[in-house]
Every structure is written in C-alpha cells, then in structure tokens.
Amino acid sequence: MAELVFFSGTMDCGKSTLALQLDHNHAVRGRDGIVFTRDDRAGQNVLSSRLGLARQAVEVTDGTDFWATVVDARTHGRRVDYLVCDEAQFYTPAQVEQLARLVDDMGVDVFAFGITTDFRSQLFPGSRRLIELADRVKVLQVEALCWCGARATHNARTVDGVMVVEGEQVVVGDVGDRSGVVSYETLCRRHHMRRMSAATARAATVSPDVLPFA
C-alpha cells in the first residue's frame, strides 16, 4: 500500500542526498515519479545536495496544488507512482494534506524530506502537519555534529557568526561561516540554549571576560 513517509533531521544530515538516491532507486525499477523542492540553496527548479549531486525538480510555491498536478499528469497519460518532496518544512499545512490525500485516494507514494524545527526551535507548520499525518516519520541516521563534537539536534541562524533568535522564519541560507550574510549551523541543545555558536565559542577562548565553561 502507498505511504506518506517523512524523513527528518537537522540541517547537514544528508536529507537531500537521500532524496536523490531514493528517486534514483525507484526510477531504475521502472517507477515514474515527480521530484519537488522549494527554496533550494542552488536556486529554483533544482534539488541539490552538499555532496555536489543535483537534478531538475519542480519548484513549489504557496500556490502549488499537488493533487491538481498529479491529476493533470495522469490525465495526460503519465503514470506517477511516487513523489519526492524535498524542503517539505516550507510547504503549507494544506499542501501536506493534499499529499496525504494522494496517498489515500490515488495510491501515490509520497516521500517527504525536511527539517523539523526552525532556528528558534519551533516546529515549521509543514513539518508539524507531516508529523501529524505521516504513516511513518524516520529520523535520519547520519548525525550532524555540533562544534563541540556532540550530536547536533538544533538548527541555529547566525549573522557574522553570532546566533540570532529573532526574524522571519524562512530566510534562505546554507551551513557555513560566511561573514556579513545569514548562515546556519547545527548545535547540540546545550549550546543552542546558551546561544553559543562556533564563532562565539572561539571568541570565548581568547576573552578574559567570559566565564571558562561552555
């Protein structure tokens, strides 16, 4: 039977790589699928991995209707056995409900990939609805690491290396230490709650005004 599966984890844990691999595995077995993404770091209409892999994809907007897209494709003779939906945290709750309906009423497998919480440790609306509706939620086993070496469980937004906790929920950026632009890094809960990014930790080791613990 068809399923709605939500593959989730922090940034930098290989979600997009797995999405590309899963699409490849199904395609070589003769299944026909459509790949969707939204706000990918590489630009519009592309699903990319930090390992350098990429493929063309359908760009999702707030106006995208997954149900209508699949109905239109099947009406024109395309089979559409499965959907790969990357960056699914950015989808609207209504779009997630469309995906669930495609599974239940049309037998389309849906494989959604996304991070669960934003830089404030709050659930994305799309991720929340996926957790509520998915047949299975799978936490990816490739562990991202905090700067301290512990398993990273939280996504942090930084500006000039300083962690910020205010601002728009969606600001496109990437994992990295790039001065003057919005970047993201993954932290353990301890250092996320202390707002201690890698840059802040480095500064603390050379500042006499900072207490000597992390």
Cα→Cα distances 207→76, 140, 197, 199, 212, Å: 66, 37, 15, 12, 9
List the structure tokens of 176. Answer: 């990295």
Percent helix, strand and coil across the chain, each rounded to 5?
A: 30, 25, 45
Q: Is 87 a catalytic residue?
A: yes
* Candidates 3, 87, 168, 185; catalytic one: 87
Q: For the sheet with 162-164, list strands across it.
A: 162-164, 154-159, 182-187, 174-175
- Using an 8 Å Cβ cutoff, are 133 and 38 in contact? no
Instruction: Please list the active-site residues.
Output: 87
